[in-house]
Structure 1
Amino acid sequence: MKFLERAFDNENQIWKYILVLFIGFFLGQMVGSIPLIAVLIVKMIRFEGDFQMPENFADFSAYGIDPNVGLVLMVIPFITSLIIGILLVKGFHRRNYKEVINGGRSIRWNRVWLGVIVWGVLIGGYMLVDYLISPDNFIVQFNASSFIPLVFISVLLIPLQSGTEEFFFRGYLMQGVAARTRSRWLSVLIPAVIFALIHSFNPEVEEYGFWTSMPGYLTFGVVFGITSVLDDGIEIAIGAHSINNVLSSIFLTSKSSVLQTPALLFQKEVHPQKENWVLLVLAVLFIVILTIRSNWKFRKLFEPLQKPEISQKQ
């Protein structure tokens, strides 16, 4: 059964989606944040009244927490949400995780790696060019004792964070919107808007403003949604999202970044408007390259979804 069409069954009630998203994603995040909150409380108590809240709440060094430990604590809530989400989708919708990912086939790891390679080359190439053009805007802060653990933590754990977001927004929610509206475009746009709004709590938004920051998150949501529709599954989106966050974690941070890691480079000044335009260009290139590579047909985006004659359940 095709990816979006999998949700055309008798288990597609709106209240189920509200509950799964609330309990699975949001409540799962809260439960998974307990270790992080506990560590923060212990650290703040030790300051004995001298603690001052940092401008960036994700700056774990301000709490006396090793940034690598902080990164691990930040990923735990996503792992919790993913586990709870998979169980709830199975219970409420009788849909297993493979059906959310691509309609029920085996996970296409070659598509995951395709997303990793194509987006990794594009975003990694931009990082390199930006550094070569404006080296004075970056501080090299290589420290082997913190950088090497960072690489292992990022490669092993950050794909779980990215994969969780893709599971909920490009997988589960896209299927639900598609089944309710029978529109491929709305199944791209509505989850993309919700995805962007979820990130409105990030420190970048507080630093640069809501309307300046949202275009970047929305671009990610739309481009990953388009690839998921055209590729009939979210594997490419998982790969691209993962490599984007892994490279950012390892190679680049700034004072307003949600990823406050001992990255190789610290960016002194960030120009969000420029970043938004660059991201849009890279997103178009990403789609073009994958379209040529995979022989996608864009007319598929405008074709209405049809309910399968026989609903398959596993």
Structure 2
Amino acid sequence: MFLAQANKQENHFFKYVIGFIIVIAAMFLGYLPFGMAIAIKSMTTGKPAPVTEVEMMRYLDLNLGLFLLLLSFAVALLALFLVVKGIHKQHFKEIITSRPKIDWNRFFFAFLIWFVFSAGTIVLMYFIEPENYVLQFRLQPFLLLAAIAIVMIPVQTSLEELLFRGYLMQGFGLLARNRWVPLVITSVGFGVLHLANPEVDKMGYIIAFYYIGTGLFLGIVTLMDEGTELPLGFHAANNVTAALLITSDWSAFQTHSIFKDISEPSAGWDIFIPLFVIYPLLLLIFGRKYKWHSWKEKLTGKIKPITIPDTNQSYTGYEQS
């Protein structure tokens, strides 16, 4: 019933277009402190301001740069909250889950399983190919990094998940009256958005398959589980691990992480391993744990009108046929 929660009588697809524009505008507004910090340092030091985002983060203190960068996502998340409440007249929980309340156990299960896997993989690669990594751990900056990462990175990943797997997926479900169209559109949109990441310059556009495939995986999880708690946990674990454990001169996060990858980046057939091996295994684990069923209907089913009770009003929603 997750997609059905958007189908109130006063809800229309054009509101999602307006809401999306507002959220993106809010993100740019939240980016202003980061830009102002760059400009102030440039004026006070006389050094020219850098152009790329990676160079900007190095231009500032790394922890300050990370915090200011993530601040834009906090502003955008607040804007999304106001859009859902003000424009769509929905409870914000309705773009998070179809359950009576948010299932935090699901969030922490996905977070734990992916954090352990990601951290274990990084440590294993360090011992297998030590020549590709530098141990750069420094306690004081790392502790500050940990505080920023634990608080702010889940804000960043929550904005991305709730915008794509919650808000936009419900919006395109309202428009298409089926489940596969919002799944495909939001997955491609998620992948295209991440093509702005600095990794693309180093690895090439082949990495788009990884971004779109990850969006597809998270979309499938959302539709099968009727909520975003598992994607929220997975995405938070992925980015927190990246920020705390490993950085490089070409990665989106420039941090005081434990390790630094100094190898020459490349992307080949290895990017398909998560898509065709790891993600299907995770789907199997999640599916068995949470007793998923009716895969075809939940992923491709059409939508038909039903009546869904609400605490404040009754409205017409939709379910898969």
What TM-score do the two structures reach when normalised by structure 1? 0.92
SS of 2:227's equivalent?
coil
What TM-score do the two structures reach when normalised by structure 2? 0.90
Distance 1:227 1:241 in 2: 12
Aligned to 1:183: 178
**Alignment match of 1:46 (pick from 44, 55, 62):** 44
**Alignment match of 1:291 (pick from 287, 301, 307):** 287
| RMSD of aligned alpha carbons | 1.8
The Cα of 1:44 is off from its aligned counterpart by: 1.5
SS of 1:89's equivalent?
helix
The Cα of 1:108 is off from its aligned counterpart by: 0.8
SS of 2:239's equivalent?
helix
Gaps of 5+ in 1: none
Alignment-mate amino acid for residue 25 of structure 2? L
Aligned to 1:250: 244
The Cα of 1:274 is off from its aligned counterpart by: 5.0
Distance 2:133 2:311 in 1: 53
**Alignment match of 2:223 (pick from 217, 222, 229):** 229
Distance 1:303 1:77 in 2: 36
Q: Is the 8 A contact 1:60 1:66 kept in 2?
A: no
Higher strand share: 2
1:72 aligns with 2:67: yes
Q: Is the 8 A contact 2:119 2:245 kept in 1?
A: no
Q: Is the 8 A contact 2:106 2:229 kept in 1?
A: yes
SS of 2:54's equivalent?
coil
Q: Is the 8 A contact 2:13 2:172 kept in 1?
A: no
Equivalences for residues 10-29 of structure 1 within 5 A? 10-24=9-23, 26-29=24-27
TM-superposition CA deviations, 1:202-252 (whole Å, max 9, x none): 11122322x222112112211111111111100110010001000000001
Equivalences for residues 199-210 of structure 1 within 5 A? 199-209=194-204
1:260 aligns with 2:259: no
The Cα of 1:159 is off from its aligned counterpart by: 0.3
Distance 2:82 2:262 in 1: 43
Distance 1:88 1:241 in 2: 23
SS of 1:309's equivalent?
strand
Distance 1:308 1:131 in 2: 54
**Alignment match of 1:173 (pick from 168, 174, 179):** 168
Gaps of 5+ in 2: 313-321
Distance 1:73 1:227 in 2: 31
Distance 2:98 2:309 in 1: 12
Instruction: Say which is worse superposed, 10-19 or 92-101, in terms of deviation.
Output: 10-19
| Identity fraction in percent | 30
